[in-house]
Amino acid sequence: MKKILTASIVGLSMTVAGLAFAEPVKIGVITTLSGGGAGLGVDMRDAFQLAIKQSGNKDIELVVEDDAQKPELAVQIADKMIQSDKVDLMTGIIWSNLAMAVVPSVVAQDIVYLSPNAGPSALAGAKCNKNYFNVAYQNDNFHEAMGQYANKDYKKTFILAPNYPAGKDSLTGFKRYYKGELAGEIYTQVGQTDYAAEIAQIRDSGADSVFFFLPGGMGIAFMKQYAQSGVNIPVLGPSFSFSQDVLPAVGDAALGVKNSASWSHDLDNEANKNFVEAFKAEYKRLPSIYAAQSWDTANLIVSALAKASVKDKDAFRAALKAADFKSVRGEFTFNTNQHPIQNIYVREVVKEDGVLTNKIIATAFEKHGDAYADQCKM
């Protein structure tokens, strides 16, 4: 703590000195702006830009590029941003498989990467890095919360997720807290659009509930097909398939579904109210959780820049780690592995003024960290 304090003070004095030169800071944002996952990336980008604009910090310059949800493209963009744009910080990646392709090499080149969404377990445990900050969650978190919550009503749950790092983390997380029996466990293809084969197995399994993690377009396709299939088993999930960006497409099939998240637009704190209002005023729509996490990421960066120069890596990292910003999620601190310690809530999909949205109905975990922090030696 003392070290951090000293570092922040040193950092602070350097910023004061730095201010005279108005040192520009370049942030590389790689996110998904096209294809089935575009909704997530667009919310991420919009909230990030708005937060930077509202901060009044004119020295921040953003370089935004679309990864089209393709790992190989994300790697190319990252190389380009580092080598020719000479970015100081990077952020933006939504998908865990893209994060796994990009983050290890970025942080190895001593560039700080802040994750606004993906939190693969590999980067939280043994492969944690001093240059990697996760501002969103460790992938298991929301699923752990749903596993915990499912114990209340269900004894035989059918679980499914895509076959990629976040999908495996998801089901691992669910199983870590769920005490009932599993009616089945399926891994689907990433980007799969037809779930007939899976729905048939759910129908046949005798499950009393279905837990699924299918982010972006996958979840929309699943929910639409599930609603048409005549299977009436209640569904549960992390917030991703019931987030504000996908609810209009899923439609009334989502009503009443319980889902878990670290944030909801009705979360009662000052920072969140400001955020929801500013976002609605600027973009004429309700923000999603991706927007909330990205807003926090931007504000964390702004708070750290006020304390330390981005060129002084040690001081800047210490300033980030202090997490001295007003999170829209309420209380927010970093764990030893630089992943969040935060509350996880259970939400229910409701209709407010004709618009489908979520409202918080329970708190699954308070000040929840992750299961991998012990393996991180930093």
Residues that bind other proteins (CB under 8 A): 33-36, 38-39, 42, 163, 168, 171-172, 182, 185-189, 191, 193-194, 196-197, 200-201, 203-204, 217, 220-221, 224-225, 228-230, 249
For residues 136 and 221, which CB has a smaller minimum distance to other proteins in the complex? Answer: 221
* Least Å from the CB of residue 264 to other proteins: 23
Q: Using the Cα atoms of residue 60, residue 61, residue 66 and residue 69 in order, give the sign of their dihedral.
A: negative
Report, in Å, the least distance between residue 246 CB and other proteins.
10
Q: Which residue has the tokens 């679309």?
A: 66
> What distance in Å separates the CA atoms of residue 343 and residue 247, rounded to the nearest whole number?
23
In the complex, the smallest distance separating the C-beta of residue 297 from other proteins, rounded to whole angstroms, is 22
CB closer to other proteins, 135 vs 161? 161
Least gap, CB of 172 to other proteins (angstroms):
8
Nearest distance in Å: CB 175, other proteins: 8
Phi, psi angles (nearest 5°) of residue 133 = -120, 130
Neighbours of 318 (CB within 10 A): 21
**Residue 56 backbone zone (phi > 0: left; psi -120 to 50: alpha; other: beta):** left
Task: Identify which of residues 225 and 336 has a Cβ nearer to other proteins in the complex.
Answer: 225
Nearer to other proteins, 34 or 109 (CB): 34
Residues 6+ apart with CB under 8 A from 342: 137, 262, 327, 329, 330, 331, 332, 333, 367, 368
Which residue reads 């209640």 in tokens? 234
- Closest separation in Å from C-beta 230 to other proteins: 3
What's the closest the beta carbon of residue 34 comes to other proteins, in angstroms? 4
Instruction: Report residue 235 as tokens.
Output: 């569904």
Residue with tokens 């799969």: 192
What is the nearest approach in angstroms of other proteins to the Cβ of residue 163?
A: 5
**Do residues 165 and 139 touch, judged by C-beta distance below 8 A?**
yes
Nearer to other proteins, 164 or 325 (CB): 164
Return the number of other C-beta atoms located less than 10 Å from residue 348's C-beta.
Answer: 16
Residue 297: alpha-carbon gap to chain centroid? 10
Nearer to other proteins, 171 or 310 (CB): 171
In 3-state terms, what secondary structure has residue 172? helix
For other proteins, the closer CB: 171 or 315: 171
The strand pair at 209-212 and 112-115 is best described as unpaired
In Å, what is the CA distance from 243 to each residue of 49, 220, 238, 240?
A: 20, 11, 9, 5
What tokens appear for 131 in the block? 């240059």
Look up residue 186 and give its amino acid: I
